[in-house]
Copies of this chain bind each other. A is one copy, B any other.
């Protein structure tokens, strides 16, 4: 039997049924705090509970496409978001309906608008990452791993620039790091450090229109540079506890 004969006789329904979903951990910063997008489930199971936006993949669609589509469908958010794969979860009992394997994605974007509820979701809203409700399925774990991934990626990629606007000040960038890492950073040292990493930011030659809300000089404006990796990296303050 050659390959074409084999394929003609092949019955896909012979395998036990499995479904594949994508779930998205979408992050943004609003009002100085890290926020996660959650939807309130409108259908069983776990109806009424908060969950990550997501859903079943469609036949001719790649995984990342499905993640972008679900984000748009359930929340009305359609900006060009950075999206990257996080991990997959397939414990046999993670969904009571049937065997479901979920591929999770991480999405970042600057000052996103309030979402509108879409078809599957009764409600969609940004939640502060430090004050989260109990989530449906194993979404609490997925979200936790997404947050940790985002924190880690700030260290060695220019990810932070995707949380700010087209142009930004070094202080705004510092705000992103402080918010996501939940640590205060030294303004002077941070400033010098950012400018010393080749390709992280490039000057626009402009400055802000006015000083800060509580005074101070006008800050220079920068835009994201062409670096894809930061070298040397910006390491988080040592976390001895996490090492062993």
Contacts and interface: CB of A to CB of B under 8 A. Distances in A.
Interface residues of A, number: 50
A15 B100 CA distance: 12
**Copies assembled:** 2
Interface stretch (A87-95, A166-174, A177-185, A206-214): A87-95
A198 interface: yes
Given A12-B98, A199-B244, A243-B198, A44 B6 contact: yes
A61 interface: yes
8 contacts: A3-B44, A3-B45, A18-B57, A20-B20, A61-B92, A63-B90, A198-B243, A199-B243
A99 B45 CA distance: 26
A218 interface: no
Interface stretch (A32-40, A108-116, A119-127, A223-231): A223-231
Interface string A3-35: 100110010110111111000000000000000
